[in-house]
Amino acid sequence: MTEQQPAPETTPRERALRLAIADLERHVGTLGWDGPVFVFALVRTANALALSPALAEQLPAEAVQAAEEDPEHLTSIEQDGLPEAGTLEELLGQLAWPDLVDGAAVVVERMVVPPEAESGMPTDPEAAVAYLMDHPDREDVRMAAGVLRTGESWCTMRARSHDFDDSVIGSPDAVPGLVEALRSTFA
C-alpha cells in the first residue's frame, strides 16, 4: 500500500482565482448555451475600492464585504468592444492589460469529440464542421479559464449533457492552450 501525499495547500490568491472563475462560469451559464466568447479583466476588489471608493455603490454588497475580509478577493469586469478576430487565439493575441489589472479570464464554448472520431473528419472546413455537428459522440462544453499576472491559473469545464453546478470540474491546467494564450496577454 502506498502512502498518499497530502494535497498542496491552496494560497489565498489561488482560492480567490478559483472562486472568481467558478462565479464567471455560473454567471455565463445563466445566459444559456450557444453564447459568444466572454473576456474579463480581473482586479483585486480591495485595491479597486481604495482607488475609487465610489465603486462600492456599484458592486454587490457581498463583494464589498468579501474585499474587507479577503484582500485577494477578485472582481471581474466584462470587456466590451473587443477587436475583430477570426479565432479566439487571434483575439487574445490582440489584448494587453494596464498594470491595474491583476488577471484575465475567458469563457468559451467548444464542441469536442473523442480522438478516434477525428480520424474520419473531412479536410474541407465546411464539411468538417458538418461532420462534427452530426457526430453521435459530440459533446458541447463550456470552458472558463483565468490567469493572474503573478502566474496562478484556474480552469473549469461544464458539459452540456451534465449541466449541473456539481458536475463542473476544475484544475489549474484543464485547458493548457487557453491558459498560455491568456498568460501571453500579460507579456
C-alpha cell of residue 46: 480591495
Q: Looking at the whole model, is its pTM more than 0.95? A: no
In this predicted model, what pLDDT tens digit does every residue of 135-150 receive, in sequence order? 888 899 999 999 999 9
How many residues does the structure list for the chain? 187
Q: Are 67 and 46 in contact (CB under 8 A)?
A: yes
d(CA 161, CA 32): 13
Beta strands in 2-119 (DSSP E): 38-44, 74-78, 103-112
In this predicted model, what pLDDT tens digit does every residue of 27-49 receive, in sequence order? 999 999 999 999 999 999 999 99
- Give 74-96 as a DSSP string: EEEEEPPSPPP-SSHHHHHHT--
Domain ranges in the chain are 12-184
